[in-house]
Amino acid sequence: MTSTFNVVTSQEYKYGFVTDIEADSVAPGLSEEVIRFISAKKGEPDWLLEFRLKAYRHWLTMAEPEWAKVEYPKPDFQKIVYYSAPKPKKPQYASMDEVDPELRRTFEKLGVPIHEQEALAGVAVDVVFDSVSVTTTYREKLAAVGIIFCSFSEAVKSHPDLVKQYLGSVVPSSDNFYAALNSAVFTDGSFVFIPKGVACPMDLSTYFRINNKESGQFERTLIVAEEGASVSYLEGCTAPQFDTNQLHAAVVELVALDRASIKYSTVQNWYAGDKDGKGGIFNFVTKRGLCKGKASHISWTQVETGSAITWKYPSCVLLGDDSIGEFYSVALTNHKQQADTGTKMIHIGRNTKSTIVSKGISAGDSSNSYRGLVKVQPKAEGARNFSQCDSMLIGQSCSASTFPYIEVQNRSARVEHEATTSKIGEEQLLYFQQRGIPAEEAISMIINGFCKDVFRELPMEFAVEATRLLSLKLEGSVG
């Protein structure tokens, strides 16, 4: 049955696309043909095409998840364009003076260096500041110790065996609706490989990824740390990110072998829509780390401030004995934003430990939910979890919810959960103002205090920016 199917479809490919293969983009809509087209365009090996098709066929049998506490018009998957040839970003402006003053103001407040402002805003940049040269230097330094850090497409070409070995090994293509969709149609992303015993000499940032092309809305990231290796990876930046694609469904997979450690930090500031929530990004992400080896360690730190809808649960599967999973999160929602975010800690190995620290801040008319699962499987002797979930409300019309799920199947396990809800109310603000501190600075100080346990986990310069970003996001929301 399957083989007949393949014959038919490959024939369709053969006749349907031979002439179109030179096209720069494909018509909107999703079908096996479109997937074959994407794969062919990217010159992918057969196994990868099979991976995509399998995911697609499974996706067809799945329904869009309904359980999250978010409301949005369901995307029409036949209206999305799944492939358009990557174009180098054209400079839109001749100088910074032409850039939207609002955006400039934001950059200045965030303290983004001027040449980075230009790059981000799409200003033609001076050769001296060309980020490519910066990137090249980094690349050489990394290659010297055997680290691979490149775009996903590049990795498929240059290290197909590694990609084949690990792709889908943490997030199977059938995992969930959006992960399956991503597996079928992902266009690009990042690949990181840290060989045995190597401690990555610098934080790796998507910012410096060699491939400057747009990764599109279906991004795929795979990070592998071999025995005893360690790496800190930074995703995103504090500057606001705009995109014409409304739906973003990324998949991130992390694999840590024996004693390896991966620290993954995200600052997410996708466009959240206007004050009424119009036009914002839907961010439906699957992030999961596999602590495969003994005493391996995976730590997620996220600062989520953007997107109209966020649906995201960076998780850890603690398979190796003595492995450690951590999740530190600040999720801020304002205006009409909705976030349903949290984590899953799956304890499988013995003496595995996990820590969850979640700080939700809601302002305006937003809705902010923490959803977390701590699961201790029967063989996870001595497993331990500590969860702390705090919510802060600013104003009267926002909401915060916590949904902690705990499933313990081993009697020696210890699972602790603490939750608080507080309010930046008039009393707190008045107290600061009564000491001469203006409201905006007061809020920033209160929020910072609230998020301290998470910010502490961020790389230094990220932490400073994250602090400023939160204040900026809350500007005018109190008082």
Partner 1 sequence: MLSIRNLTASINGTPVLKGIDLEIKAGEIHAIMGPNGSGKSTLGKVLVGHPAYEVTGGEVLYEGRNLFELAADERARAGIFMGFQHPIEVPGVSNAAFLRLAYNKKAEAEGRDELDPLEFDDFIHEKIKLVSMKEEFLDRSLNEGFSGGEKKRNEILQMAVLEPKLAILDELDSGLDIDALRVLGDAVNKLQRPDRALLIITHFPRILETIQPQFVHVLSGGRILKSAGKELATELEDRGYDWVLEEAAAGGAR
The residue ranges that bind partner 1 (CB under 8 A) are 422, 426-428, 430-439, 441, 445-446, 448-453, 479
Nearer to partner 1, 135 or 355 (CB): 355
Nearer to partner 1, 251 or 469 (CB): 469
CA distance 405 to 127: 53
Residue 39 half-sphere exposure, CB side, CA atoms within 13 Å?
22
CB of 426 to partner 1, least distance (A): 5
Nearer to partner 1, 190 or 301 (CB): 301
CA angle centred on 362, ends 357 and 366, rounded to 5°: 130
CB of 305 to partner 1, least distance (A): 18
Neighbours of 426 (CB within 10 A): 11
Q: From 362, 343, 361, 340, select the one nearest 301 (Cα to Cα).
A: 343
Nearer to partner 1, 99 or 446 (CB): 446
Q: From 346, 358, 368, select the one nearest 388 (Cα to Cα).
A: 358
CB of 400 to partner 1, least distance (A): 16
Q: Is 388 exposed, middle or buried (0-12, 13-18, 19+ CB in 10 A)?
A: middle
CB of 99 to partner 1, least distance (A): 32
Nearer to partner 1, 17 or 432 (CB): 432
Nearer to partner 1, 175 or 390 (CB): 390
What single-letter amino acid sits at 434? Q
CB of 444 to partner 1, least distance (A): 10
Nearer to partner 1, 26 or 424 (CB): 424
Residue whose tokens read 């040839």: 85
CB of 328 to partner 1, least distance (A): 14
Element (H, E) at 448: helix 439-455
Q: Which 8-state DSSP code applies to residue 300?
A: E
Nearer to partner 1, 99 or 478 (CB): 478
CB of 438 to partner 1, least distance (A): 5
Nearer to partner 1, 148 or 400 (CB): 400
CB of 435 to partner 1, least distance (A): 4
The DSSP code sequence of 34-57 is HHHHHHHHTT--HHHHHHHHHHHH
438 CA to centre of own chain? 34
Q: Which 8-state DSSP code applies to residue 73?
A: P
Check if the beta carbon of residue 306 is closer than 8 Å to that of residue 335: no
The alpha helices in 349-437, defined as continuous H runs, are: 426-434
Q: From 203, 201, 109, select the one nearest 459 (Cα to Cα).
A: 203
CB of 327 to partner 1, least distance (A): 19
Q: Which 8-state DSSP code applies to residue 124?
A: P
User: What is the end-to-end Cα distance of the chain in Å, rounded?
Assistant: 66
CB of 49 to partner 1, least distance (A): 51
Nearer to partner 1, 126 or 427 (CB): 427
CA distance 289 to 314: 8
Check if the beta carbon of residue 52 is closer than 8 Å to that of residue 220: no
